[in-house]
Amino acid sequence: MDRLHRKPQPTETRTGSDCQFCRQFDHEFGRRDPMDQLVRVELGDTATAHMTENGEIMHRLLEIKMREGPVGYAA
């Protein structure tokens, strides 16, 4: 078998799609670098599924903002 011209296995190729969580909650999502928008399809719309470290960090920051709740309300 020719190792240079073999067919890649499905688990070897990464397919990406836009992170729906970030798309919904980040108003600046369209301005992100295209690679920072993508997540690995098999992992879903989670921070660790992002293709880049910047994308993961931006996702985590959105999660933190959502936990804090609306600004200006006293607990």
> For 11-65, how does the pLDDT look when each residue is reduced to its tens digit (9 = 90+)?
655 678 999 999 999 999 999 999 999 999 888 899 999 999 999 999 999 999 9
Name the pLDDT band for 75 (thresholds 50, 70, 90): very low
Query: Is the pLDDT assigned to residue 1 strictly greater than 60?
Result: no
The pLDDT value recorded for residue 68 is: 84
Classify 69 in phi/psi space as left (phi over 0), alpha (psi -120 to 50) or beta: left
Greater pLDDT, 10 or 60: 60
Q: Is the dihedral of CA 58, 23, 46, 15 positive or negative?
A: negative
Cβ–Cβ under 8 Å, residues 29 and 54: no
Q: How far apart are CA 21 and CA 73, in angstroms?
A: 24
